[in-house]
Amino acid sequence: MSGQRTGSSDHDAGWWRDESPYQGDAPLRDDAPYSSYGAVPRQGGTRADIPRPGGRAEARRAQQGGRPGNPGGPGNPGGPGGPGGPENGGRAAARAAAERGKKKNRRKIVVWVAVGSLGLLVAGGGAIYWKLNGNINTFGKDGLSADRPDAAPADANGHTPINILLIGSDSRGGNNKDFGGGGDGGARSDTTILLHVYADHKHAVGISFPRDALVTIPKCKLPSGKWTEEQKNTMFNSAFSVGDTDQGNPACTQNTVEKLTNLRVDHTMVVNFEGFASMTAAVGGVEVCMPNAIYEGDLDPNLGHKGKQIFAKGVQTVAGQQALDYVRLRHGVGDGSDIGRMKRQQAFMSALIKDVKTKGMSPTTLLPLADAATKSLTVDEGLGSAQKLLSFALSMKDIDLHDIKFVTTPWRYEGPRVALVQPDTTQLFAALKADRTLDGQDASAGSASPSAAAEASSAPPAAQPPTQAEAPATVKGTGIRVGVYNGTTTPGLTTKAAATLKASKFTVSTVGNAASQNHATTVIQYGPGEKAAAQSVAGLFPGATLEPAKAAGVSLVLGKDYAADNGGAPAAPSAPAAAAPGPLPSSVAAAARSADDDPCSNVSYG
């Protein structure tokens, strides 16, 4: 398919058109001619006005020079014609008077600079936000599907997980052609990552979607107002091109991700080439790593010769055009696939997050980045203000770098395309829907609220039923930590269970709600090598089911049977328990990248 845009195919390109099939393909975009690196183009700007001479300040100074008692003024001590002035030979006195005046003026200057700066911050804050708001473009919700997944429920502390869809557009519209090479129209999603911020705001994971993955693209709205028909077995990144506009179709990509993952996307952000280059320059560059040297011929295979070296082997800092080339490069590294490129994109995102967090997640750090980003940013209407963007960024400031993960949707090659592996893909998104981390932790449960924790720790054993407060003599829980979760809608169960455990010397590490409140029976989950500890817990909860889990630790999930035995509503045997997410394949968790990983690790494939 000579001359065809990388990532397109005759099978699915242009399937959404009303008037005719897709007529021809665009030139190769990933192999755009190499352009020399330079500073990010400036966005206009005018020369600062030069203060004109004279004015009120100068008039005041002239007036003060003649006031009685003003040392150095005409006719005054130290001034021309005054005692001790130059005409009377008092040079030492004149110098002393001048020095006193300088100190006094210096104090005034310091005070006025401080006051003026504060005023600029207060008054200018509105101007800054106004400027950033003016940069942001939004897309309407009228293009979103009417059949969307439900929003995630709040956890015991009222916190909810957030799903942010990040799209890198390869549009050549406007100034983007200067960065992407070429000027062909339309847009495709060069990069798509679903960022899941867990309810505890202590964990986050970014899921990369292979752009060549064959998926079902649901009905999407065209610029004409018409809706397309659902398309099966279609390349993932063609969703963004529906409508063939330079702005792309973020709503269609969001619809596709929601249908694929069964997760509700709360917000969507699209950044183009120009915005990406500006962002990297705003932070002073990003530290990346190349497993081998890269040359002009790798960046542009059509060049016909090796050319000059573009990237050296090893760690280096890139910004602007060079940073863009790093995340878009395919050839010359590994097998030259999009899979390897996604690994470098994840490494780049990790380095960018690490850089910003190291400098401090404050408005001072984020505002320059926000100014650069918003100039080429398109977001949904719910995120369409500088305040909301900065608020979201600041909400992630407490997430440790090691707890920010990046993974790729489980995949396999299917001819020239990519197929998503099942049931691995379904299990991955089911775990996110249950707010489970990659190592199996329930982030929605978190820790109990202060009042709940106090209630659990202060409840006297005598207040509980004898069968719960008086533990069997054979059960000894010393040294065993247990997390207690309510898997029902009956309140107070964790308090009773915690008291029972403490009476047998178990340590209750966590108290909260389970991801699902529809457990028919009580379950004790245990990590590798901890079955004996789980059996000790089961000695206090007859009838509980033991379940192995990948995550370390022991978790007690109370079911409706426990609620019925402790004054709650009777268990309903006919109501099936909600299916808990299956364990994640070890390959998914093992391949995850942390934001604090070595920049040279896991940056190629094949």
| One domain for residues 124 and 193 | no
Q: Please report whether residue 55 resides in a domain.
A: no
Q: Which residue has the higher pLDDT, 433 or 93?
A: 433
φ, ψ for residue 224 (rounded to 5)? Answer: -75, -10
Q: Please report whether residue 476 resides in a domain.
A: no
| One domain for residues 277 and 369 | yes
Q: What pLDDT, on the 0 to 100 scale, is given for residue 465? A: 35
Whether 520 and 571 have beta carbons less than 8 Å apart is answered as yes
| One domain for residues 286 and 236 | yes
| One domain for residues 382 and 504 | no
Q: What pLDDT, on the 0 to 100 scale, is given for residue 125? A: 43
The answer, yes or no, to whether residue 75 has pLDDT greater than 90, is no
The end-to-end CA distance of the chain, in Å, is 24
Q: What pLDDT, on the 0 to 100 scale, is given for residue 583? A: 65
The amino acid present at 484, given as its one-letter code, is: V
| One domain for residues 130 and 178 | no
Using alpha carbons, select from 320, 325, 324 the residue that is nearest to residue 309: 325
The answer, yes or no, to whether residue 248 has pLDDT greater than 80, is yes
| One domain for residues 504 and 394 | no
Q: Please report whether residue 578 resides in a domain.
A: no
H or E stretch at 556:
strand 554-558
Rounded mean pLDDT of the chain? 74
| One domain for residues 131 and 248 | no
| One domain for residues 388 and 530 | no
Range of the domain at 123: 104-135
What is the distance between the alpha carbons of residues 33 and 280, in angstroms, rounded to a whole number?
21
Q: What pLDDT, on the 0 to 100 scale, is given for residue 18? A: 47
Q: What pLDDT, on the 0 to 100 scale, is given for residue 112? A: 43
How do residues 287-338 score in pLDDT, each as one tens digit?
A: 999 999 999 999 888 888 999 999 999 999 999 889 989 988 989 999 888 8
Q: Please report whether residue 558 resides in a domain.
A: yes
User: Of the ranges 151-160, 527-536, 537-546, which one carries the lowest mean pLDDT score?
Assistant: 151-160
Q: Please report whether residue 202 resides in a domain.
A: yes
Express as a percent the part of the chain with pLDDT over 70: 66
How do residues 411-425 score in pLDDT, each as one tens digit?
A: 999 988 999 999 899
Q: What pLDDT, on the 0 to 100 scale, is given for residue 512? A: 83
CATH number for the domain spanning 410: value is: 3.40.630.190
What is the 3-state composition of the chain as percent helix, strand, coil, each rounded to the nearest 5?
A: 35, 15, 45
User: What integer is the mean pLDDT of 212-225?
Assistant: 94
Model confidence band, residue 360 (pLDDT cutoffs 50, 70, 90)? confident
Q: Please report whether residue 42 resides in a domain.
A: no
Q: What pLDDT, on the 0 to 100 scale, is given for residue 292? A: 95
Q: Output the DSSP codes for 231-255.
A: EEEEEGGGGGGTT--TT--HHHHHH
Torsion region of 121: left, alpha or beta (phi above 0 gives left; psi -120 to 50 gives alpha): alpha
| One domain for residues 253 and 364 | yes
Q: Please report whether residue 145 resides in a domain.
A: no
Q: Residue 417: how many CB atoms within 10 A of its CB?
A: 17
Domains identified in the chain, total number:
3
pTM of structure:
0.61
Which long-range CB contacts under 8 A does 112-119 form with residues at least 24 apart? none
Q: Please report whether residue 321 resides in a domain.
A: yes
CATH number for the domain spanning 540: value is: 3.30.70.2390
User: What integer is the mean pLDDT of 261-267?
Assistant: 95
| One domain for residues 335 and 372 | yes
What is the distance between the alpha carbons of residues 513 and 303, in angstroms, rounded to a whole number?
60
Of 118-132, 167-181, 295-309, 578-592, highest mean pLDDT:
295-309
Q: What pLDDT, on the 0 to 100 scale, is given for residue 391? A: 79
| One domain for residues 495 and 421 | no
CB proximity list for 565: less than 8 A, separation 6 or greater: none
The answer, yes or no, to whether residue 118 has pLDDT greater than 70, is no
| One domain for residues 487 and 409 | no
The answer, yes or no, to whether residue 23 has pLDDT greater than 80, is no
Tokens describing residue 519: 């457990």
